[in-house]
């Protein structure tokens, strides 16, 4: 079961043992982009999200791109 009402993976960035997953998500009707670190759970051999990340409103992404 996911925290999000809807989610769609946009991409991944892998660097050694770190994985950052970028998703377009929806929670309570609000569209956001979630950028979060994930880890490999050695017990289940599953990739799982950490608390290290941020969910930003989709409507400000153009402004964020300009800053970057």
Q: Domains in the chain, start-ordered, CATH in brackets? A: 6-67 (2.30.31.10)
pLDDT number for residue 1: 72
Percent of the chain with pLDDT over 90: 85
Rounded Cα distance, 47 and 64, in Å:
28
Mean pLDDT for all residues in the chain: 94
Average pLDDT over residues 27-52: 94
pLDDT number for residue 68: 92
Band of residue 15 on the pLDDT scale cut at 50, 70, 90: confident
Q: Going edge to edge, which strands form the sheet with 6-15? A: 6-15, 18-27, 30-41, 46-57
């Amino acid at each position: 079961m996911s925290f999000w009402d809807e989610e769609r993976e946009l991409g991944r960035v892998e660097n050694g043992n770190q994985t950052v997953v970028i998703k377009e998500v929806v929670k309570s009707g609000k569209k956001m982009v979630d950028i979060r670190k994930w880890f490999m759970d050695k017990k289940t051999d599953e990739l799982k999200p950490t608390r290290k990340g941020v969910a930003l409103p989709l409507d400000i992404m153009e402004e964020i791109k300009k800053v970057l």
